[in-house]
Structure 1
Amino acid sequence: MTYPLTGLDGKVAVVTGAGRMRSIGRHLAVELARAGCDVVLTGTGRAPERRPADEQEAGWNDIDSVADEIRALGRRAVPVVCDVSDADHVDQLLATTRAELGRVDVLVNNAAASRGNDRGPLIDVDVEDFDRVLRINLRGTFLMAKAFGRELVERGEGGSIINISSIGGKQSGVGTGVYSASKAGVQSLTSTLAKELGQYGIRVNALCPGVTATSRLDDLDASTWETYVRANIPLGRAGQPIEIAHAAVFLASDQAAWVSGQCWNIDGGQLTIR
């Protein structure tokens, strides 16, 4: 006997930060489509010359390529260039979602700041770098949850909001203080939103990935990460983006109907208590 996930066929999902070829966002969008959702997906509109070499070689076209994958599954896809830290952009995204697909049922806040000069001792981090990370990771999550949360409340049919955080928001670490603070903030927003929106049948959860094999790790020394993984992850490997997506699809489904206010680690066992 099989137990398929239910409740997503014909629903509309909005997934932010979904344009990179080797990313969590791409798989979030595609797996929600595979489960039956039509998808609005956002990206920053990266110019071709700013894309990684493997994307350029593959002819990858950011959110448009992900939209093509979704359409190949027989679902509707609406790619939108959007800066989630800009309130006007977020309002326009909501308007586009309404106009193109008529509703929203699932919101996945995945957009995140790229690795930059924020990675270093906190006393050496420039205020501008601190503000950049918090603006995208935390303010962006807030603006999206505010706009789309209101939409879900007004529609009165419940819904699911899934915020992509990180185990960094629970354990912190040397040289990652700004990123960790932003992700801890996402977890706090998740808890509050779950308490405030539960009365409307809206569930709010966060996923906290550990080391995941995405293009964001490309600027790091491979042997260093291999050593780190062997020393810190009981399952002995980095996670795959699709494994994060599978958990998100579950949280959006009927089978998670009584799950809210949670911040789940998906990290190969790295954090075994929190």
Structure 2
Amino acid sequence: MSVELTGLEGKVAVVTGAGRMRSIGRAIAVELARAGCDVVLTGTGRSPERYPDDERAAGWRDIDSVADEVRALGRRATPVVLDVADPDAVDSLAESVHAEYGRVDVVVNNAAAARGPDRVPVVDLPVQVWDQVIAVNLRGTFLLSRRFARMLVAQGEGGSIINISSIGGKSMGANTAAYAASKAAVQALTSSMAKELGAADIRVNAICPGVTRTGRLDDVTPQAWQEYVARNIPLGRAGTPTDVAMTAVFLASDQGAWVSGQAWNVDGGQLTVR
């Protein structure tokens, strides 16, 4: 007997940070479409000069390419360039979603600041770098969650908000202060909103990926990541974007209907704490 995830056919999902070819956001958008959702997907509007070599070689077109993948699965797709930290832009997105689709059912806050100059000791961390990480990872998640929660409450039919956090918000390693603080705060936001929105049958959860094979690993050599995985991950491999995406689809489905307020580690067994 097979187990089928249900409850997503004809639903409308919003997925932020979905434009990169090797990314969790792309995988979530595609798997939600495969499960039956129409998908509004956002990206930063990267210029082609900023694409990595593999995207250039593939003729990648950021969120437009992902939108094409969603449409190829028979679902509607709307790509939107968005600064998630801008409240006016978030309001405009919500109004556009309502005008085009008439509703929202699933919101996935996946947009995140890139690894980079934030990975230094706190004493060397520039304020503007701290502000940028907090703006995208935390402020953006707050703004999207707040605005679309209002829409979900008004609809009166429940729904699911899924925040992509990180095990880094639990392990809180050295030289990751801005990232770790932002992701720990996303987990706190998740918990508070789950308690507030439960009476409206709106579930709010966080997914905390571990080492996942995305473009964000490109700043460290493959050999260094292999050594890290061998030392730290009991299942012996890095995750794939689809590993994370399938968890998101479950949380959005009928089968995840009694899960809320959680921060699930999807990390190959690296962390065994909440």
Q: Fold-level match, TM-score > 0.5? A: yes
User: What displacement does 1:177 show?
Assistant: 1.3
Query: Which residue in 2 is equivalent to 1:241?
Result: 241
- Structure 1: runs of 5 or more not aligned: none
Q: How does 1:11-160 map to 2 (within 5 A)?
A: 11-160=11-160
| 3-state SS in 2 of match to 1:118 | coil
Measure the CA separation in 2 of the matches of 1:200 and 1:114.
Answer: 34
Letter in 2 for 1:51: Y
What whole-Å deviation, never above 9, does each CA across 1:117-150 have from its counterpart, x for those lacking one?
1111011100000000000000000000010000
User: What displacement does 1:59 show?
Assistant: 0.4
Measure the CA separation in 2 of the matches of 1:206 and 1:266.
Answer: 10
Measure the CA separation in 2 of the matches of 1:48 and 1:100.
Answer: 28
Query: Which residue in 2 is equivalent to 1:258?
Result: 258
Question: Is the 8 Å Cα contact of residues 35 and 249 (structure 1) preserved in structure 2?
Answer: yes
Letter in 1 for 2:18: A
Measure the CA separation in 1 of the matches of 2:138 and 2:229.
Answer: 27
Q: Compare 187-196 and 172-181 and name the one that shifted more.
A: 172-181
Letter in 1 for 2:191: S
Query: Which residue in 1 is equivalent to 2:166?
Result: 166
Give aligned-pair identity as a percent: 69
Measure the CA separation in 2 of the matches of 1:49 and 1:139.
Answer: 27
Measure the CA separation in 1 of the matches of 2:14 and 2:191.
Answer: 20
Query: Which residue in 2 is equivalent to 1:177?
Result: 177
| 3-state SS in 2 of match to 1:150 | helix
Letter in 2 for 1:104: V
Measure the CA separation in 1 of the matches of 2:185 and 2:12.
Answer: 27
Measure the CA separation in 2 of the matches of 1:84 and 1:272.
Answer: 31
CA RMSD of aligned residues (A): 0.6
Whether 1:190 aligns to 2:167 is: no
Letter in 2 for 1:200: A
Letter in 2 for 1:105: D
Question: Is the 8 Å Cα contact of residues 78 and 100 (structure 1) preserved in structure 2?
Answer: no
Query: Which residue in 2 is equivalent to 1:206?
Result: 206
Measure the CA separation in 1 of the matches of 2:260 and 2:233.
Answer: 27
| 3-state SS in 2 of match to 1:6 | coil
Letter in 1 for 2:264: W
| 3-state SS in 2 of match to 1:41 | strand
Measure the CA separation in 1 of the matches of 2:178 and 2:109.
Answer: 19
Letter in 1 for 2:84: V
| 3-state SS in 2 of match to 1:242 | helix
What whole-Å deviation, never above 9, does each CA across 1:89-112 have from its counterpart, x for those lacking one?
101110111111111000000000
User: What displacement does 1:115 show?
Assistant: 1.1
Letter in 2 for 1:157: E
| 3-state SS in 2 of match to 1:149 | helix
